[in-house]
Structure 1
Amino acid sequence: MRLILASASPARLAVLRAAGVAPIVRVSGVDEDAVAATLTDPEPATLVSALATAKARVVAEEISAEHPDAVVVGCDSMLAIEGPDGREVVGKPGTVDRARARWQGMAGRSGELVTGHAVLRLRGGALVQETSGTESTVVHFARPDERELAAYLASGEPLAVAGGFTLDGLGGWFVDSVTGVPSSVIGISLPLTRRLLAEVGVSVVDLWQAAGTAPAAD
């Protein structure tokens, strides 16, 4: 049995590898805006769960013949911050201007990073079980000075990550603390993923063994 990671995120891949799992990476290509458009004024948890599920379903269908006995994990994250017009949910900035505006708004404040995961179980090439869940972690941001922020934006790192920051990269210099699960902020919550795997009858130990990282039994 193999774990299929339905994400292009190198941070998620690194977290799983460090945790003893050797996932196969497949990218879904899901149109996130199209998925969001099917929902009516969704709460952040509903939105990230729907996106994670959509990604996992596309990948599960694509790999079912090649990997008939597998678990597919889909992921999505968004940052909820208090803006001038109330609570705002933001994803990847995409441009330097949007990333700058976002940092100017959240510097010295806190935001709630909402992470959604979906786990699909394939057996004999057929989808036999599916589950999903979400987790919230509060991130307390520092106040980068003008030179620091300009350099961070110029690095390109914050443009393609949820909320416009990372914990495990350059952005980690500007995160004062985290209240919750650190791996969730990086992109994949190990505790949540473990619980969802258990719901479809898979133990993390099975995945360690598949990767050749399980400790030897006495």
Structure 2
Amino acid sequence: MTQFPPFVLASASPARLKLLKTVGIDPIVCSSDYDESQITETNPLKLVQILAQCKAEIVAQQYENCLVLGCDSVLAIDGKIYGKPDSPEEAITRWQIMRNNYGELYTGHALLDGKKQKTLLSCGITKVHFADIDNQTIEAYVNTGEPLKCAGSFALEGKGSLFIEKIEGCHSNVIGLSLPLLRKMLQKLDYSIKSFW
């Protein structure tokens, strides 16, 4: 197994950082500040992979010979893609669609290995079932501000967990980074997760 180069997280997400630290990875954090509106892809799987790659590539320009991880998440319900809501009103409307329904949370992962000049792309898909909650609860939840910071208008690691009835697939993928998927991507590049410990 190859020795790990420095690991860079191309994301300002505190949730992604916490996930990595939980498994012993203490990355350099560098937000890409990529303008996502440039990409108009309508297939959620392709969209999150393109965005994850664009974010990772921008950050990789600043960090040579490093492993750079870019991620992006969207929620798809009935074929429609939802990112972060632009306003509290949008978050409320979205929750009215989500309640007593389910969506698929797509998280694109792009792992760039500057040392080996290799790029791996992958996508985790997790089915999320939402509770049937009333309008007052939706408004109260949106007023906490939490849904405005998250793709899909909910945070599984926060108050939003109260309204998730069931998850089919990878739990950490819903938080923004599939840890099992990351392990497999590192293995493909001939790195062992044990090296972080």
- TM interval, short-chain normalised: over 0.9
Taking the aligned partners of 2:56 and 2:189, their CA distance within structure 1 comes to 14
Instruction: Find the partner of 2:142 among 153, 161, 169.
Output: 153
Which structure is larger by alpha-carbon Rg, 1 or 2?
A: 1
Amino acid at match of 1:117: H
Taking the aligned partners of 1:158 and 1:63, their CA distance within structure 2 comes to 32
SS at match of 2:89: helix
Residues 140 and 177 of structure 1 are in contact (CA less than 8 Å); yes or no, is this contact kept in structure 2? yes
- Structure 1 residue 201: deviation in Å? 2.3
Instruction: Find the partner of 1:184 among 149, 173, 177.
Output: 173
User: After superposition, where does 1:76-95 map in structure 2 within 5 Å?
Assistant: 76-82=72-78, 87-95=79-87
Instruction: Report the TM-score when normalising by structure 1.
Output: 0.85
Taking the aligned partners of 2:62 and 2:87, their CA distance within structure 1 comes to 31
**Misfit runs of 4+, over 4 Å:** none
Taking the aligned partners of 2:142 and 2:150, their CA distance within structure 1 comes to 12
Residues 96 and 135 of structure 2 are in contact (CA less than 8 Å); yes or no, is this contact kept in structure 1? no
Taking the aligned partners of 2:112 and 2:189, their CA distance within structure 1 comes to 8
- Once the two structures are superposed, residues 134-192 of structure 1 have per-residue CA deviations (whole angstroms, 9 ceiling, x without a partner) of 11100000122233212211111101211111110011111111000000001100011
Q: For this pair of structures, how many residues does the alignment match? A: 193
- Once the two structures are superposed, residues 61-85 of structure 1 have per-residue CA deviations (whole angstroms, 9 ceiling, x without a partner) of 0122xxx3x2100000111102xxx
Taking the aligned partners of 1:130 and 1:202, their CA distance within structure 2 comes to 14
Instruction: Report the TM-score when normalising by structure 2.
Output: 0.94
Taking the aligned partners of 2:192 and 2:36, their CA distance within structure 1 comes to 30
Amino acid at match of 1:185: V
- Once the two structures are superposed, residues 11-63 of structure 1 have per-residue CA deviations (whole angstroms, 9 ceiling, x without a partner) of 111111111111111000111111x13x4xx4111000000000000000012
Give 2:194's aligned residue: 205
Does residue 1:59 correspond to 2:59, yes or no?
A: yes
Give 1:211's aligned residue: none
Taking the aligned partners of 1:122 and 1:205, their CA distance within structure 2 comes to 20
**Could you say what the CA RMSD is over the residues aligned between the two structures, in angstroms?**
1.2
Counting aligned pairs with the same residue, the percent is 42
Residues 110 and 140 of structure 1 are in contact (CA less than 8 Å); yes or no, is this contact kept in structure 2? yes
Give 2:124's aligned residue: 135
SS at match of 1:164: coil
Structure 1: stretches of 5+ with no match in the other structure: 209-213
